[in-house]
Amino acid sequence: MTGRVFRLHSTLELPLEDLEEYLEDPDLPDEIDEVTLTRRNNTLIINAEASDESLSKYTPTAQLKASVTETRVYEEEPPRAGGPSWGDEEEEEIPSELVEFACFKGDRETVLQNTAVQYGMFEVLTEIAKLSEKGTLTAISEHDGELEATRIVEGEQRPATVEVVENPQNSAGKNGVDWRDNEFIDE
């Protein structure tokens, strides 16, 4: 299986508990034997172990990188500030808990690092995106010679297309203002 990831942007967030549960028994692409999760303070690193034994043990395989944040999650919506106050009533405390979230945020090199088995780890990231509660994953990748567009919004696969446009550097001055030869600018 061949493939590359050209562009990737992610704002994915999902509970760390959900991510850990998924990684216990993930459905991995053929080129990846297993993945390991390592936590260093508030950084998560998911490493791929390649099934291709011709790769040197010193070849860095692809990895996913995420940050961990704590968010207070309420069982019900907290009351809005500025609401009516009816005397000396005590405010009820709304049940809540602190939940750790794995946040895959950034562009390609921030979230998906190294090139060996990169496309396989991208497939793992798309499965994680389908589990996410909020955020988006958008990407342009190549798989078996075909360009593919990926867009996942709040866990749901959405239609996406790849649009090829002219390089703006090749058409400079044709559709825009030529600032060097402009009669309205005094020299």
- Give the confidence band of 6 by pLDDT, cuts at 50, 70, 90: very high
pLDDT confidence of residue 58: 83
CB atoms within 10 A of CB 77: 7
Per DSSP, helices labelled H in 87-167 are 108-111, 118-131
Q: List the domain boundaries for the chain.
A: 3-75+96-162
Per DSSP, helices labelled H in the chain are 16-24, 108-111, 118-131
Contact 71, 101 (CB under 8 A): yes
Mean pLDDT for 167-185 is 59
Residues 97-109 pLDDT 10s: 889 999 999 998 8
pLDDT confidence of residue 166: 75
Residues 57-94 pLDDT 10s: 888 899 999 999 998 888 776 556 665 556 555 666 77
Residues 114-171 pLDDT 10s: 989 999 999 999 999 999 989 999 999 998 889 999 999 999 999 998 887 776 565 4
CB atoms within 10 A of CB 11: 16
Residue 71's Cβ-side half-sphere holds a number of Cα atoms within 13 Å equal to 13
Contacts with 171 (C-beta within 8 Å, 6 or more apart), sequence order = none
> Letter for the amino acid at 156?
E
